[in-house]
Chains A and B, each alone.
Chain A
Amino acid sequence: MRSGFAFALCLILSLTACEREKRELSPQPTRSEAGLATDFVAGAGALQPSGNPAELNAPALSEGKTLFATYNCTGCHANGGGGMGPALMDDEWIYGYYPDQIFRTILEGRPNGMPAFRGRIPDYQVWSIAGYVRSMSGLVRKDAAPGRDDHLSGKKPESSTDKMQPSNSAAPTVP
């Protein structure tokens, strides 16, 4: 009886491991073009938390980290510390910290400088980048977060970043 229980436990554990290790072998070309409301209000937007499968997946988060540099997010946000754009490695979220809010921030752009990537990059890459952005303040599972920098390291890797309690610098305004 006990061995059966242990076997079942191992099986369940191996399933979680699969999620972390799964490679996307045939990603979808979907590029969200329209249908997203933009109301340029700090903190507003869909507040139902939606899941982001990329956050459980180590290759996706690691690719998100690479794309973060490749698509020149680093040009304004540096390696998370911020510059011309706000810092992403702290607990402050101007436009929301839920995965779909970050997804919209990347796709729609935000006032005062954040460009819109709508139609430019496929959705699965946006989800990867959104997952990586959350990993910078420890909001994703540590075992899936990237553990290594390609640049000079000035902080702990994402896989060692403790979860920060997100706070909004601007409270959501309901019109």
Chain B
Amino acid sequence: MSPATVAQSALDAAGPQSAAIEWLWWLMFVISTAVFVGVMIALAWAVRRRGDHPASDAIMTRWVTGATALTVVVLFIWLAASVSVGRASGTPQLKDAVTINITGRQWWWQLEYSDTLPSNRFRAANEILIPVGRPVVLNVTSRDVIHSFWVPNLHGKRDLVPGYTTSIWFQADREGTYRGQCAEFCGLQHANMAVFVRAVPEADFQKWLAAQRRPAADPASTEARHGRDVFLKATCSQCHAIRGTQAGGAYGPDLTHVGSRATIGAGILPNTPENLQRWIRNPHQFKPGNKMPPHDLSDADLAAVSEYLRILQ
């Protein structure tokens, strides 16, 4: 997931809502530009004819009345456009939708893929996979402070408020990876709280769902087994869950399938064994002040843990 292939722009709409928002943006941009140019021309004209023939009251009244009427008309056009875009993007399309519950945490995104069958529900973090062409409903809330979910290519912003759940929906009409960003200041690492939405074909999505629902892979190699033991005995399991083991912490991201993610630390580093080791040893060199403590594990233990996390595909 190199930066070149990741889109993050409100002017490159990938879904119906963002297309409506983009249209509104261009409408406002064009009208504002026209108004600005008109005012500048009038100003230049006024400066040039300064003092020549003072206009009569009747002429001035006519101009001011005309300009006021035009302003009111423009504002009403904007109001109508804004309301219609709000309605179009706000009305949920619940039929056949994928439902994901998102909880904002300092400073990462907790995902819970919902399903009518409880055993099909699972938790993930920071990387949201969605099928192309199907509506996605997000139920968003927060556990600590107010965050805001914003993936510009797909939709506008939605605040995540502690103790209060709201819903938005969006849809991706073409494949791609769309980067999002927390859009409400939420503390030290607000700027590094990234989220990725990957839109993939339905078949790939189903395959991914089936894989994510499975409990964690059993380590086959001695090193990975040692890594699992270290994980369960050291600090890790206090905060992280790995389904299928005794690790059941819920303060940090669920790591059951961490090996399948492209990044770690909410998008701060590519997910490679070296980066995992550097991150576990001291996450504060990448995200100073984040909630994960540094670890004084031996090099061998650290390598084993990263090997174990790598096989959790």
Contact = CB atoms under 8 A, between A and B. Distances in A.
A23 B250 contact: no
Given A27-B284, A66-B144, A71 B293 contact: no
A121 B238 contact: yes
Where chain A touches its partner, the secondary structure class is loop
Contact of B235 (A24, A28, A122): A122
Contacts of B249: 70
Given A23-B188, A70-B250, A71-B238, A122 B293 contact: yes
Contacts of B163: 150
A29 B294 contact: yes
B88 interface: no
B293 A23 contact: no
B238 A150 contact: no
Nearest to B285: A26
Interface in A57-88: 63, 66-67, 70-71
**10 closest A-B pairs (Cβ-Cβ)?**
A25-B288, A29-B294, A29-B296, A70-B251, A122-B293, A25-B289, A26-B284, A23-B289, A29-B295, A121-B235
Contacts of A120: 234-235, 238
13 contacts: A26-B282, A26-B294, A30-B296, A31-B296, A66-B251, A70-B238, A119-B233, A120-B235, A121-B235, A121-B293, A122-B294, A150-B144, A150-B162
Contacts of A25: 188, 284, 288-289
A71 B252 CA distance: 12
Contact of A27 (B143, B238, B251, B293): B293
B105 to A, nearest CB: 10
Given A30-B296, A121-B293, A122-B293, A150 B239 contact: no
Contacts of B288: 25-26
B239 A70 contact: yes
Nearest to B251: A70
A26 B284 CA distance: 6
B143 A150 contact: yes
A95 interface: no
Nearest to B295: A29
Given A23-B289, A26-B294, A121-B238, 11 more contacts: A25-B284, A25-B289, A26-B288, A29-B293, A29-B296, A66-B251, A70-B251, A71-B238, A120-B234, A120-B235, A121-B235
Contacts of A124: 293
Interface in B135-162: 143-144, 162
Nearest to B188: A23
Interface string A136-150: 000000000000001
Contacts of B234: 119-120
Contact of A125 (B284, B289, B293): B293
Q: Of residues A24, A30, A70, which shows the largest number of chain B Cβ atoms within 10 Å of its Cβ?
A: A70
A81 to B, nearest CB: 21
A23 B189 CA distance: 12
Interface string A8-42: 00000000000000011111111100000000000
A122 B292 CA distance: 10
Q: Of residues B162, B234, B293, which shows the largest number of chain A Cβ atoms within 10 Å of its Cβ?
A: B293
Nearest to A67: B251
Contacts of B143: 150
Contacts of A70: 238-239, 249-251
A124 B296 CA distance: 14
Contacts of B144: 66, 150
A31 B235 contact: yes
A41 B288 CA distance: 41
B129 to A, nearest CB: 28
Contacts of B239: 70
Interface in B219-249: 233-235, 238-239, 249
Interface string A113-138: 00000011110110000000000000
Nearest to A125: B293
B97 to A, nearest CB: 30
Contacts of A150: 143-144, 162-163
Given A70-B249, A150-B143, A150-B162, A27 B294 contact: yes
Contacts of A31: 235, 296
A175 to B, nearest CB: 34
A24 B287 CA distance: 12
Contacts of A67: 251
A127 to B, nearest CB: 12
